[in-house]
Amino acid sequence: MARYALVIGIAEYVSPSLPRLSKTINDAEAIARLLEQYGDFQSVQRLPQRWNKDKNGYEMAASKVTGAQLGQDLRTFLLEQAANNEALIYFSGHGFTISDSLGQQKGYLATSDSQIEVAGNQIVEQKYGIPLDSLNELIRDSQLSSLVMLLDCCHSGYFLERQLIERTLNTFSSQKDYYLITACRGFERAGVIKSEEYSIFTGAVVKGLAIENASSNSRRISGDRLFDFISNELKGSVQEPIRMGWGRSITLVTYPQLDIPTGKKIAFNKKNPYRGLYAFELEQAQYFCGRDEAVRTLVSRLAESRFLAVIGYSGSGKSSLVKAGLLPQLKGDRLPGSSQWAIASLTPGEHPLGQLVDILARQQQQNKPHLLFIDQFEEVFTLCQDDEERKAFIRLVAQEVKNSEVETRIILTIRGDFLNRCADYLEMISLINSIPPTSFIVTPMSFIELEEAIEKPAKLHGVTFEHGLVSQISADVVNRPGALPILQYALKELWRVCIEEPESPEPLLTRKGYEEIGGVKGALDKRSTILYQSLTTIDQAFARRLFMELVQLGEAGEVTRRRATWDRLEVVADSPQQLQRVVGLLAGSQQRLIITDEKTVEVAHEALLSEWKLLNTWIAENLENIRLSRSLEEDCQEWLQRFNKSDDALLTGANLAVISEWMNKTQPRLTPLEAEFLHKSLERRDRQNQAELEQAKKLQHEAEAKAKAESQRTRFAIASATLIVLSLGLGLLLQQKISEKKQGDAIASGALVEKSEQLLATGNQLEAMIAGVQALHELQRLGGDNSKALNQLKVVIDSVKERNRLEGHTKSVNGISYSPKDPLIVSASSDKTLRLWKLDGTPVQTSKQMIHDDQVYTVNFSPNGEYIASASADKTIKLWKKDGTYVTTFRGHEKGVTSVNFSPDSNTVISASEDTTIRLWNIVNVSLKKAIQPTIIKGHHGTVWYAEFSPNGQLIASAADQGIEIWNKDGTLITNLKGQGHTAAVRYVTFGRDNKTIISTSEDRTIRIWKWQTDTKKIQTKFFTDKGDKSFIVKYSPNYKLIATANPDGTINIWQADNGNKIATLKRHQGEVFDLSFSHNGKEIATVSADKTIKIWSLDFLEKNANDTKNRNSDLIKRGCNWIFYYLNNNQNARKQYQDVKERCQKY
């Protein structure tokens, strides 16, 4: 690749306000000669220049350069001569600043014909100067491989301020391999050192490009090497250097190699350079390798914004990237003046607000720019339990970033799976979503980056790897989320067995040693288990209790680490000596599984929670114990800190009952404060119970006394009533008969029957059945010939298809699925929850609430009935066991997940999303701790509404905004049906039994059936029905003989699959129907709706002789009562409203 240089030196000026510069020509010529001799440039162009006959070459000239000439030469150089090549520009001359009428400063490079108007000490007008913002745009438009600009325009009272340069020449912060070195004035007036050969800045540049500053090995001087020299050279001078961009990889000059070797062999250093589970700190920056691109991006983001969120999954290296990658660059003045920033850091913990206030107060007293690094920001949600404190902390962070009176920059790291929690706090999400970008997502390291991270630290200690081992280790880690801590741990263990343990080690890390430690995948698990097994039985029991204190359960069941105080751990230890002994061993230099300080103990990294199988087992066995322990701890702290031990904050009711039962069952070790809290709660409960018992006894005595008195009055009333009956005789009997005949006549004419018929007509089917049963009871009571009414009621009873109604969700119900094996139904709702139900409508109590962080769009049982998968607007898929036990969360979609299904063998979950992708998740051996890397299927260009496997499991069909696509099961595209048939977004697609037929629904209000082919020209499609119905859901029955479609008007249509004939319409929900599911025997169908209900419909009417009940009153009552039995007994609302009907039906 060619290299071109443009050297500009303007000494002569026509404006009396811009004095002649005596050193400029000499400065520029010195730079030009260095570049010609050692820069390997194809061309070094001087401006202005003249021909020197004696030297037979060009040299700098002391002539004028106009604005027009300089502008044209810059355009030609950047856009034509150096296009697609490496370029360097050196400028020596005047620079000046103008403030416009709005107070905005603009910078200019002065040309010989520049005309400036001065008012006082300020330049207020100019002509013919080169605007820096225009130069910045010209550079941005150029297509260069790399660009270095050396800018020396700090010669007089007019100069370019640091902030102006940073703001205007921002291309150097955003473009890769664009690098600027300049200087600005640090004092009001600059002394002129007339005795020096060069100006202050260029003198430092010339020395920095000299052979003495070249690398001893490569003999090269890079951009960064030059800046480091200039920075040291100008310390204490009247100028301070500015660097923008990234110049480590840019070579400015190269000197010939010396004949004698200059480099010494690196000495063999046995000290372990790898960090294990610990994050890299600033002091280990030299060992932090392979992240140059990421660090470069962080620097450029921080140059454009005072806030930066570094986002990534656990184990992606977020903390190390900031501590050992970004901060050392800032310490080295990577951003102008950043070496002078006051840097502080914190991790939120349980009480983040106090820490933040203290740090900001100290920094403000220093009266200098400062940077705050908040590591593990997710602790604001996992450890801080006070939402008011959390809100105040976030609000203060946002205020500090936006405060124009201070120069505070804030960097935070946060796990990506906690971003949805940030969305609940407007100030935080506004910072993260700002423009220009204020966030950086940490991506997995590439294979090459991994090799550097593995190999370079060992090289620094004079150690090499056995041939091929670096590649093998990289292959074991690449594309494995969260693997960096376990990689570092494996390398630390490899160093231990190869270097530290042998008596006379060779400086070589071997494949044998790698196999001995169990490789990357087994090193942490193997070492941790060996360490645990080395403990005594008593210490092992304590170790289990210890680690249970060091984990925290999230709202969705996710497991994270937490800090435990020494005081708390003393409670769970058998003795202080045991605590010190075991913790000392686990935190020792050889193990470092946990971290300690004066106040707390914590797990070294969350990778331990996911990779140590034994610990996984302990956590899984103690989930409920952990949850209840944390709940008691939080309630106890609130009782102490917020309510000052008030009785009003003691445990009561169900909460106390649960904690009390847990205490009696498990006998956990409590802190003295927790024991006091629980004891007082139990005492208060016992006092209240005793008071209630005494009150009940009092009421009982009063009731018995009242009953005795009533008994005497009743005997008197009976005697009186008998006398009245005898005296009235036949007159009363006649009156009763007349009344009964009138009521019977009213029923016979349809007065009561009409209510049942009206309810059926309006789609209130269960209410119609109940009204019919009530009418039948009245007819039975009255007796007589009421055949007409019975016939009418039989029609109603025969027409009712709604068998049960399940209520409990508080918002729209969006998804429904029958279990294929067990008598269970699962539903999903916009209220963020899932609910399990028995087939009779009884709610199933799960160990924990099944919940997402946003509305749940869909849910399905696996074909083997063992799992449930749910998809949510919170961008996640959650996997549950069939009993509702949480298993894990699949993360990766960037927008809401619209559908989720299983493969026929139940081994794969398939999801579709608004982010245009489909993802396949292998759930074989799935666990809470093991992140799953999905196969991502791309090809759609809009929301993917639905995706499912074919019955044989070999194909996938997807429905999206732009149509239907058919894929192989591995995600390779077979064919697409875009542009055919449907004229709007396709909302649903499903396979027929033959795997070649598909049926789809669309926003164009049609249902279509297809015979797909790989050749798109041979694809056949037609309307499924004679006229289109607007339906966003369509499903085959288990035997593929029926098709059901759900409609926005609340109705459900049942069709014959083979000919498209409509068999029935089920009426209706009171809102749009969003999903439906056939029972595994095909005899029922469940539907869900915006009306918050789940309705169960019987399909028995499709069988012959389904309605052969005779129209005898007793037969109709029995059938009606049996039909509504589950609804009246298991639906809470129905039990209350129809108690009388339930009691009348009990005998049937």
Tokens of 1113: 């009153």
Tokens of 244: 């923008």
Residues of the chain with CATH 3.40.50.1460: 3-254
Strands 146-152 and 86-92: parallel
291-444 CATH fold: Rossmann fold (3.40.50)
Tokens of 911: 């999801």
Sheet with 997-1002, strands from edge to edge, namely 986-991, 997-1002, 1007-1011, 1020-1023
Q: What is the CA radius of gyration of the chain?
A: 40
| Contact by Cβ (8 Å): 131, 108 | yes
| Contact by Cβ (8 Å): 956, 966 | yes
| Distance of alpha carbon 746 from the chain centroid | 66
What element of type H or E holds 222? strand 220-222
| CB atoms inside a 10 Å sphere around CB 545 | 17
Amino acid at 329: Q
The 10s digit of each residue's pLDDT in 88-121 is 999 999 988 888 777 778 889 999 999 998 887 7
Q: 9 pLDDT band (50/70/90 cuts)? A: very high
Sheet with 1093-1098, strands from edge to edge, namely 802-807, 1093-1098, 1084-1089, 1073-1078
pLDDT on residue 240: 78
**In 142-199, alpha helices (H):** 162-168, 171-174
pLDDT on residue 1034: 92
| Contact by Cβ (8 Å): 221, 214 | yes
Reduced to 3 states (helix: H, G, I; strand: E, B; else coil), residue 892 is coil
Q: 968 pLDDT band (50/70/90 cuts)? A: very high
Tokens of 784: 């007589």
Name 1071's Cβ contacts closer than 8 Å, sequence gap at least 6: 812, 1050, 1089, 1090, 1091, 1092
- In 3D space, the residue among 1016, 982, 983, 1014 whose CA is nearest the CA of residue 1000 turns out to be 982
Tokens of 349: 């913990």
The 10s digit of each residue's pLDDT in 621-631 is 899 999 999 99
CATH 3.90.1720.10 at 803-952+1026-1098, yes or no: no
Tokens of 750: 């349809």
| Contact by Cβ (8 Å): 592, 493 | no
Tokens of 820: 């294929």
The 10s digit of each residue's pLDDT in 369-387 is 899 999 999 999 888 888 8
296: pLDDT strictly greater than 50: yes
Share of the chain above pLDDT 90, in %: 44
> Could you say which DSSP state residue 21 is in?
-
The 10s digit of each residue's pLDDT in 441-478 is 998 888 889 999 999 999 999 999 999 899 999 988 88
Tokens of 1037: 């029955």
Q: 409 pLDDT band (50/70/90 cuts)? A: very high
The 10s digit of each residue's pLDDT in 803-840 is 999 999 999 999 999 999 999 999 999 999 999 999 99
Residues of the chain with CATH 3.40.50.300: 291-444
Strands 824-829 and 813-818: antiparallel
The secondary structure of 391-452, three-state, reads: HHHHHHHHHHHHCCCCCEEEEEEEEHHHHHHHCCCHHHHHHHCCCCCCEEECCCCCHHHHHH
3-254 CATH fold: Rossmann fold (3.40.50)
pLDDT on residue 204: 92
The 10s digit of each residue's pLDDT in 749-804 is 355 677 888 788 878 899 889 988 888 888 887 776 677 788 888 888 989 999 99
CA–CA gap between residue 922 and residue 925 (Å, rounded): 9
CA–CA gap between residue 573 and residue 596 (Å, rounded): 16
What backbone phi and psi angles, to 5 degrees, belong to 911? -130, 150
β-strand partners of 260: none
Q: 70 pLDDT band (50/70/90 cuts)? A: very high
The CATH class of the 535-621 domain is mainly alpha
| CB atoms inside a 10 Å sphere around CB 647 | 12
CA–CA gap between residue 1113 and residue 776 (Å, rounded): 6
The secondary structure of 1113-1135, three-state, reads: HHHHHHHHHHHHHHHHHHCHHHH
Q: What share of the chain is helix, strand, coil (3-state, %, to 5)?
A: 40, 25, 35
Please give the sequence-ordered ranges of beta strands (E in DSSP) within 30-94, or none if there are none: 43-47, 49-52, 57-60, 86-92
What backbone phi and psi angles, to 5 degrees, belong to 374? -105, 105
Reduced to 3 states (helix: H, G, I; strand: E, B; else coil), residue 930 is coil
Residues of the chain with CATH 2.130.10.10: 803-952+1026-1098
> Could you say which DSSP state residue 500 is in?
I
| Contact by Cβ (8 Å): 985, 949 | no
The 10s digit of each residue's pLDDT in 36-49 is 999 999 999 999 99
CA angle 311, 316, 319 (to 5 degrees): 70
The 10s digit of each residue's pLDDT in 577-634 is 888 888 888 876 556 688 887 788 888 777 788 888 899 899 988 999 999 999 999 9
The 10s digit of each residue's pLDDT in 908-958 is 999 999 999 999 999 988 876 677 889 999 988 889 999 999 999 999 999
Furthest C-alpha separation in the chain: 154
CA–CA gap between residue 1019 and residue 946 (Å, rounded): 21
Burial 344-375 (b: 16+ CB within 10 A, else e): bbbbbbbebbebbeebbeebeeeeebbbbbbb
Tokens of 331: 């310490």
pLDDT on residue 729: 44
Residue with tokens 């299983």: 902
β-strand partners of 843: 837
| Contact by Cβ (8 Å): 603, 587 | no
Q: With left for phi above 0 and alpha for psi between -120 and 50, is residue 376 left, alpha or beta?
A: left
Residues of the chain with CATH 1.10.10: 535-621
Burial classification of residue 627, based on how many CB atoms lie within 10 Å of its CB (0-12 exposed, 13-18 middle, 19 or more buried): middle
What element of type H or E holds 1139? helix 1139-1145
Tokens of 670: 């409590």
Name 1079's Cβ contacts closer than 8 Å, sequence gap at least 6: 818, 839, 1085, 1086
What element of type H or E holds 180? strand 178-185
pLDDT on residue 188: 39
Name 1104's Cβ contacts closer than 8 Å, sequence gap at least 6: none
Q: What is the pTM of this model?
A: 0.48
CA–CA gap between residue 804 and residue 1123 (Å, rounded): 8
Tokens of 824: 């269970």
Residue with tokens 């059945």: 769
Please give the sequence-ordered ranges of beta strands (E in DSSP) within 42-85, or none if there are none: 43-47, 49-52, 57-60
What is the DSSP code string of 227-249? HHHHHHHTTTSSEEEEEEE--TT
Mean pLDDT, residues 194-216 = 88
Q: With left for phi above 0 and alpha for psi between -120 and 50, is residue 308 left, alpha or beta?
A: beta
